[in-house]
Structure 1
């Protein structure tokens, strides 16, 4: 009995490889996004802490020079926070694009798999028909016309 040989093996291997590559890139990018979100939360906590500290110092009475230092510190932290927010938005956009690329690569692979599945099903039906005809011949029965 002849063995089924796929004509789409090379295409399917390429699609699977592409899906794997994109998946690895997405996982790495998602990890970077999670790390950036953690950094943003840390910076936000630091800013809140500095503001709370400033409020406590104002209640106690603070010298104008120290007030200026607090202002500069808070301004610097706020600027860093805004910079990280922009970078995070950019990274989130890139991560979303990579997720869409992964979905597309998966869809492309599944299309080839479905085509291959249909081809193999047709091959097996044809093989079954030939086998039935051969058995009919051996049994001395006339050939049946099957759908």
Structure 2
């Protein structure tokens, strides 16, 4: 082939045209799903969906948190590369996974990311939460 458009997989280094090879994308999709209930703050909750001790003492000003994945390998590597090294191919690798997610709150009218501190945004050159929220907002039409 005259032109090879494949780049190394962000996780294992195999050649892949999409940022992640098929094996790593499958591991990311299948291996990190979160099935345990979450407390309102996002930490593991109780079996009955109750609040953790910290939220019982001082409830956060929001009613729920949604998280589909456990923050462990390989997701943690992608997020760290994206957030701390400005690796935009990691965003492209995460995008198909984000698009698979249903809107957790169908009545929600807006999606609002928590902004990065202005110094971090300046150092990175972008706000990763804002970029991911825009991807989801377009997908969910919010």
- TM category (shorter chain) comes to under 0.3
Q: TM-score if structure 2 supplies the norm length?
A: 0.24
Bigger RCO (CA 8 Å, 6+ sep): 1
More helix by share: 1
